[in-house]
Structure formats: C-alpha cells, structure tokens
Amino acid sequence: MTARDRFVALLVGAIVLLVALWIMLVSPENKQAAKAQNELNTASSAVSSAEGQLSNARAAQARYAAAYASVVRLGKAVPPGREVPSLVYELARATDVKHVDFSSIAYGTSAGGTGPSSSSPSSGAAGASATPVAGFTQMPFTFVFNGTFNDLYDLFGALNHFTFRTSSGGLQVNGRLLTIQSVKLAPVDTGTTAATHVREELTGTVTATAYVLPASQALTAGGTPSAPAAPSAPSASSSSSGSSAPAAATITGVHP
C-alpha cells in the first residue's frame, strides 16, 4: 500500500468517525434543542394568550362599576317588583311640579267614563290583570288628573319622558317606564258657581301601562357594586311580582 493509499484510508476513517460522533452525540442534542424550542414557542403563545385575557379581564373590571350603575338606573324604569308606592310618589311629585291635582289612580283600565268616576272602586282592579309581554309583566293603570289645559299638557309630556330614548340612541331614565294608551279630557263638574270656573279646569283621564321584570329575573342577580355574583334562585322581591294584583286596587286623593 502506497503512502497515498494510506492517506486516503486515514481520511475516510476520520470522516466515518466524525459521522459516527455526529450521529451519536450532536444529532440527539439538536433534536432535544428543537423539541425545547417548540415547547418554548408553545409556552410563549400560552403566556401571550393569558396576558390578553388578563388585559380583557382588567378592562371588564374597570367597566363593571359603570355597567352596574346602568343596570340599577334601568331598574328604576322597570323594577323587579311592582313598587306601586314609588310609582304613586313619582306621579304625585310630577303633578306638584306642574301644578296639577292628582285625583286618583286605579289598577286596571276602566271601560267607559272620562271623569273621576272612571277610577272609582267599582271599576278598579277587576278590569284587567297583569299580563306578560316581551319578557316583562304589564301593569295597566288608569290615572285621573285635574288642572288647566296647559298644565295637563305639560304633565303628560313629563309622564312621557319618565323614560325615553335620546337622540344619541341611549336611554334617559327619570322614572318608571310608562306607555300611554289613551288620554281623555273633560270639563270638571264644579257646580254652577261662577267663581269655580275661573281657572277653566279639566279632568284628564290617562290609561297607561307600567312594566315589571319577569318573576325569574332579579335586577342585579345578586351582584354588588364591587363584584358580580353567580346565578342564584330568584329573590323575594322578584318572585313577588308574580302575584295577581297590588294590595290596593284604587287610591284616591293622592298628594305629594
């Protein structure tokens, strides 16, 4: 064997040894490094996703207080219970501001009359019962007011704006949500004394509907201003809205 042959044999042997060392030592390390890199990429993706969820959770937490306040404010328009006394108070306050006499309020709609007799006890709660509609419970009422035409006109506008949609599309809540079905005006029967006709008062009979949340739905579902609560059984205030009628069917002589 010549020197050249020996050199070629040694070179081939060295190459074979290097390949063997690569296969035995370097290649497994590369595979481990590639596996570790994949695991690192997966962990980085999970961390990024968790950071995004944390950011969303913090944003939702920052909005929660405002959202809770909005729900409570909307609850003034459509409460979880009938809350007839609060409705009477709102109406009495509105009539006092508009210089109108709040003559009476009757649960249900009367069949015929346009004067105070239409809200007498004989035509009170027997006229209608609470009816669920669009997820809410309807509460029909008949209101009777006495005042001048201008004062009554202003009052009816105020009633229509207890809750209304603004030009920007939001809801402005000043009181209970009322939908007015009809308004009837008639002269006040004040006898024949001329002095009683000085103000030219009219009697305004209004049939309107208030609304209550469904019996199975509480206003805030047990949530507090600081944190929401898990769904629970309906509260006593919400379940009470399923009763057949308010305790007092007719109230007369209401004053603020």
Q: Which of 206, 31, 24, 191 is nearest to 109 (CA)?
A: 206
Predicted confidence band of residue 153 (pLDDT cuts 50, 70, 90): very high
- Contact yes or no for 205/183 (Cβ under 8 A): yes
Domain of 197 in residue numbering reads as: 79-252
Decide which of 77, 111, 145 is a domain's last residue.
77
Instruction: For the beta carbon of residue 233, count every other beta carbon within 10 angstroms.
Output: 10
Query: Do 20 and 48 lie in a common domain?
Result: yes
Do residues 63 and 84 share a domain? no
Confidence band, pLDDT 50/70/90 cuts, at residue 165: confident
Report residue 175's pLDDT band, with 50, 70 and 90 as the boundaries: confident
Mean pLDDT over 5-10 rounds to 74
- Asked whether residue 158 falls in the same domain as residue 34, the answer is no
d(CA 87, CA 107): 12
Alpha carbon distance 101, 99 (integer Å): 7
Please give the share of the chain, as a percent, with pLDDT higher than 90. 20
Q: What is the mean pLDDT of the chain?
A: 74
Identify whether residues 123 and 41 lie together within a single domain. Answer: no
Same domain (yes/no): 199, 105: yes
Tell me the pTM: 0.54
Q: How many domains does the chain have?
A: 2
Same domain, 66 and 110: no
Domain of residue 178, CATH code: 3.30.70.60
Final residue of a domain: which of 22, 50, 77? 77
**89 and 55, same domain (yes or no):** no
Quote the radius of gyration of the chain (alpha carbons, Å).
38
Same domain? 193 vs 122: yes
**Last residue of some domain: 32, 52, 77?**
77
